[in-house]
Amino acid sequence: MNNKFARIAIIFLGLFLTASFSLAAEQTQAGQYSSSQFDRPGICAGCHGIIYSQWDGAMHSVSEIDPFYMKEAQEASNDTDGFTDLFCARCHTPIGVMAGEVPPIDGSKLSEISKNGVQCDFCHTVSGSAGIGNAAFISTPGNIKWGPFSDSESPSHETAFSELHTKAEFCGMCHDVIHPVNGLQVEATYTEWKEGPYSKEGEQCQGCHMTPGITQFEANPGKAAAMGPKRDHIFTHNTVGGNAFITELLGSKTHANMAIERLKSAATLDIDFTADKNETVTMNVSITNSGAGHRLPTGLTEIREMWLEVIATDNAGKKIYQSGVIDNDGNIDNGAVIYKTVLADANGSPTTKFWLAEDVISDNRIFPRETVVEKHTFVIPEDAIYPVSVSTKLRYRSAPQDIIDHLFGEGVYEVPIIDMVEKSNLISTSNIISSAANQEPKQNIPGFGFFGVVVAFIFAYGKRRVN
């Protein structure tokens, strides 16, 4: 079978599976509505100004114009003869898909409202869910706006209570992604939450990502609308994750800073070390996912990178040991452990293109409340000047530098690296002496072997008897 025929067969199979799923689930179809049936976000801002300002600049608001997404989506389209266009766009410009403005994937046919990504009148005209993953939403555009309150009244539109809007399943419609042809789960943020401790305790996605609290629910008293009643809690709409790269790139330093704050609250580090009399240091660094309800990292995990940097330096500034250091080209050194998913293509080779993925080679990401331990060993040279400083940092970036260079050109964008958590220790000579002493080696009596000790004991005992 030649490559072109194989590709066509895959496309038809994918279309069949997608159509079968849609028919069974009754999710809203591509081209079912017109974009004119949806309100512009600016209209909503008239009454919901605070909520609008939180959404504006957040990743949901730029999901369609995100330059990284646009480049990746175009590459996927090229690799699959356009098969991925609707599949990707359904989450990134849901109104554009429902309005039949995709394909093409380049956005050239999108209306202005469709360029606003995941926006007010998309989310609040979702009237139901057809399941989890692959944008399985049921949309009912019109005068009824669905939301989390059962007593809402508005002079501008009708309102309806939606329990779905208060549940993680609302987020799970897009934040799980299943390969449309082979069924491989390529993004699993909802599933990671569902199978973890937070879901069992009743904590929803909204409890962390739509409240002022970073790692747990925090009440946000206020009004959902300017003329609305004061309520004990209003969901915030920043919906910040870990993307400080694109938010700042597109002009929202506020959302970038919030993403950094969230990353800094996601994990903890602990270090213990032993040093023997030969000045060999063994470090155990414990990394705990202490603040995320899903695995670390999550999302597009064949791209995301989290790793530990370890640097040991003596008091004169001389480097003794390093791991996880970035080189001049932006690459992490080969000896470091990178927490990510490694996908395999049809040939079994690693790929960062999820649309070509057929299997998972490895996945070492950290489960919620799980601790992993990294062991690092190095020798302190004889000429080292004490104390020796050991610095550890858990670092994160949204994408490897070489992928960004490939998509945009070398030197166009530098991917920011966020230090999630860091910890340092000092190793002094007393540490080493203490460590050696803890081994409590047996000391031989100078000038005696075992036989000598026995003779000495008999001699002493005999002398005592004589006295």
The CATH number for 339's domain is: 2.60.40.10
Give the per-residue pLDDT at 193: 98
Q: Is the same domain home to 153 and 194? A: yes
Region 227-242 average pLDDT: 97
Domain boundary among 213, 233, 259: 259
- Cα–Cα distance measured from residue 422 to residue 400, given in angstroms and rounded to the nearest whole number: 21
Q: Is the same domain home to 332 and 376? A: yes
Burial 161-184 (b: 16+ CB within 10 A, else e): ebebbbebbbbbbbbbbbbbbeeb
Give the per-residue pLDDT at 20: 36
Q: Is the same domain home to 79 and 24? A: yes
Examine residue 92 and state whether it is found in any structural domain, yes or no. yes
Q: Does 463 score more than 90 pLDDT?
A: no
Query: At 432, is the pLDDT very low, low, confident or very high (cuts 50, 70, 90)?
Result: low
Structural domains in the chain (count) = 2
Phi then psi for residue 257, to 5 deg, are: -65, -35
pLDDT in tens, 394-422: 999 999 999 999 999 999 999 999 999 99
Q: Is the same domain home to 337 and 398? A: yes
Q: Is the same domain home to 193 and 146? A: yes
Q: Is the same domain home to 15 and 153? A: yes
Tell me the HSE value of 390 on the side-chain side, using a 13 A CA sphere.
24
Give the per-residue pLDDT at 431: 67
Mean per-residue pLDDT over the chain, rounded:
89
pLDDT in tens, 147-168: 999 999 999 999 999 999 999 9
Examine residue 189 and state whether it is found in any structural domain, yes or no. yes
Q: Is the same domain home to 295 and 377? A: yes
pLDDT in tens, 315-350: 999 999 999 999 999 999 999 999 999 999 999 999
Q: Are 326 and 415 in contact (CB under 8 A)?
A: no
What stretches of 56-142 show up as alpha helix (H) in DSSP? 67-79, 84-92, 94-98, 120-123
Region 209-231 average pLDDT: 95
Asked if omega into 229 is within 30° of 0 (cis), the reply is no
Give the structural domain span for 332.
266-438
Per mean pLDDT, which range of 49-63, 85-99, 351-365, 432-446 is the poorest?
A: 432-446
| CA-based nearest residue to 128, from 154, 146, 149 | 146
Per mean pLDDT, which range of 64-68, 372-376, 463-467 is the poorest?
A: 463-467
Q: Does 275 score more than 90 pLDDT?
A: no
Give the per-residue pLDDT at 300: 97
Region 241-257 average pLDDT: 98
Which residues lie closer than 8 Å to 406 by C-beta, 6 or more apart? none
